[in-house]
Amino acid sequence: MEDKDIREIMDGRSIENALTRIAHEIIEHNAGDSGIAVVGIRTRGEYLAHRLVAIIEKLKGTKLPLGLLDITLYRDDLMIADSQPVVHETKIDFDVSEKNIILVDDVLYTGRTIRAALDAFIDFGRPQSIQLAVLVDRGHRELPIRADYVGKNIPTSKQETVVVRLNEIDNKDQVLVKN
Amino acid sequence: MTKWGQKDLLGLENLSREHIELILSTAESFKEVSTRGIKKVPALRGKTVVNLFYEPSTRTRVSFEIAAKRLSADVINIATETSSVKKGETLIDTGLSIQALKADVIVVRHNASGAAAMLARHVDISVVNAGDGWHEHPTQALLDIFTLKQKLGNIKGLRVSIVGDIAHSRVARSNIWGLTKLGAKVTVCAPELLIPPEVEKMGVSVTHSIDSALSRADAVNVLRMQFERDTGAAFPRQLEYFRNFAVTEERLKKAKKDIIVMHPGPINRGIEISSAVADGKNSVILEQVTNGIAIRMAVLFLISQARRTQ
């Protein structure tokens, strides 16, 4: 492993701190509004959404609806993708209307995933608002999309890769930038 | 993760266990789409699916049409009685014309065994076999297996009996291939003349007693008696068949309490199955119909994907 090509940007503690801060911001931003629901974008957004919900529930002392969104069928590169796309189940078993939906993903990059997620989500109804929370914003947007809550802004070049590892599937909490 | 990588689905005989499992797991994800308020995803937007049916069909054709539409594909139905086939056009010429019209998938049902495979050799676009003669009906078997999996969790080690006209049944053949590949123990049950020769070579046991077919089975798949295929002496009369082979409440009393009863439809009540069983608590016949949509969505999605990734 060439150390100078891999930089650790966040460790377990800074990921936890970032999520806690985002949770506070979500509560503050949506104060007085009827309902918040958190929806994770599969795969890693799912785990981040679970964690966010746990933190917000602890802070507010009330239960939050949690949904999971698989955007494979809405991808704009579906028919040009090289690899076998794997379709996972979407699970939104609450009424989305009148709710403030917090979409959660690990990395915000081109914005195309979020575009697909918005399209997918609209098929479930008309929420009061849709807000976006991401652990990492690495820039290089190709669509007019921005995040409402950001764990960390990481300036990157397009040649670099951002890797988010989470305990739940990677046995470690870590954000790396690879050259 | 298994890569699909095939432009056609012609049968289960030549599919690997991994490929079958990929279709089943993809179908599991697609099942949710049909429960939404807006039952549609854009995955096949701009694709054209042609249903080319040389034999009558309600459920299979409608199921393919709904599956394609829930994936946002455009669907054309060709019923051969009202098409150029009546003027003598061959299957291959019809297929080439459909290809020239820039369709992407042909779903074909034909009374000749091997018709789908022949069509697939002559066109570059995808072909899905919706039943060819006595040969295979892969999506029916896949939805049967999918239903079993949803009910009982795992196919491996399950005892599944298939009762009815095995000799003339493409549903039986596809089920046998699929189930044995996934590790189920399959028994076929029918009057002697409706069992195809050397069927044991497909890895199944044979019985001529409905009671023994039911006795230890986790599931029974009851086939329709296809009296329209009556070839004379070999065919039992309807009443005789009911007396000796029908799945009735009386017979189910001696089977496992929670035995799963399946039927690919259309049902002939009072011939191969009694109404009480068809509508009873062990029956999953209507769930099979619902699951057919998810299976066909998965198949259409995977083959369309394969064409692009080749």
Instruction: Dump pLDDT digits (tens) for A33-78.
Output: 769 999 999 989 999 999 999 999 999 999 999 999 999 989 887 7
Residue-range definition of the domain harbouring residue B249: 138-288
CATH number of A12-74+89-158: 3.40.50.2020
How many domains are there within chain B? 2
Asked if residue B204 and residue B300 are part of one domain, the reply reads no
B87 found inside a domain? yes
pLDDT, chain A, mean = 92
Question: Mean pLDDT across the stretch B159-183?
Answer: 96
The answer to whether B118 touches B91, Cβ cutoff 8 Å, is: yes
- Examine the domain organization and report whether B153 and B33 are in the same domain: no
Q: Is there a single domain that holds both residue B174 and residue B260?
A: yes
Pair (B125, B226) in one structural domain: no
Q: How confident is the model at residue B310 (pLDDT cuts 50, 70, 90)?
A: very low
Mutate to test the interface with B, among A68, A72, A84 (most CBs of B within 10 A): A84
Same-domain status, B271 and B303: no
As a whole number of angstroms, the distance between CA A148 and CA A125 comes to: 21
Q: Measure the CA–CA gap between B133 and B241, rounded to whole angstroms.
A: 23
> Is the pLDDT score of B29 beyond 80?
yes
* Same domain, residue pair B159 and B131: no
Nearest CA distance, A73 vs chain B (angstrom): 5
Q: Give the integer Cα–Cα distance in Å for A175 and A160.
A: 13
pLDDT at A83 over 80: no
Same domain (yes/no): B93, B206 = no
Would an 8 Å CB–CB cutoff place A31 in contact with chain B?
Answer: no
Q: In terms of domains, do B224 and B245 share one?
A: yes
Residue A155 Cα, gap to closest chain B Cα (Å): 33
The answer on B209 and B67 residing in a single domain is: no
Percent of chain A past pLDDT 90, that is, above it, reads 80
- Whether B209 and B220 map to the same domain: the answer is yes
Tokens of A154: 């990481």
Residue A55's H or E segment, with its range, is helix A44-60
Residues of chain B with pLDDT > 90: what percent? 82
Are residue B102 and residue B148 in the same domain, yes or no?
A: no
A81 or A108, which is more confident: A108
Listed residue (B185, B183, B64) closest to B126, CA to CA? B64
For residue B131, is it left (φ>0), alpha (ψ between -120 and 50) or beta? left
Could you tell me if A147 and A111 are in contact, meaning their C-beta atoms sit under 8 angstroms apart?
no
Quote the CA–CA distance of B64 and A128 in Å, as a whole number: 36
pLDDT in tens, B89-110: 899 999 999 999 999 999 999 9
Amino acid sitting at position B268: N
**Across the interface, which of A74, A83, A90 has its CB nearest the CB of B32?**
A90
| Count of Cβ atoms closer than 10 Å to residue A7 Cβ | 13
In contact, A127 and A97? CB cutoff 8 Å: yes
- Taking CB atoms and an 8 Å cutoff, what residues of chain A touch B71? 73
Q: How far apart are CA A158 and CA A136, in angstroms?
A: 15
Whole-angstrom distance, CA of residue A22 vs CA of residue A25: 5
What is the distance between the terminal CA atoms of chain B, rounded to a whole angstrom?
17
Rounded to the nearest 5 percent, the helix, strand and coil shares of chain B are 45, 15, 40
| Pair (B157, B238) in one structural domain | yes
| Residue contact A84–B305, C-beta within 8 A | yes
Candidates B24, B32, B303: best to mutate against A (most CBs of A within 10 A) is B32
Ramachandran category for residue B203: left, alpha or beta (phi over 0 → left; psi -120 to 50 → alpha): left
Read off the CATH number of the domain in which B30 is found.
3.40.50.1370
Say if the Cβ atoms of A84 and B2 lie within 8 Å.
Answer: yes
What tokens does B131 get? 């039943």
DSSP-assigned states of every residue in A71-99: -GGG-TTGGG-SS-------B--S--TTE
Average pLDDT over residues A95-102: 93
Report yes or no: B219 and B161 within 8 Å, Cβ to Cβ: yes
| Domain range summary for chain A, segments of one domain joined by + | 12-74+89-158
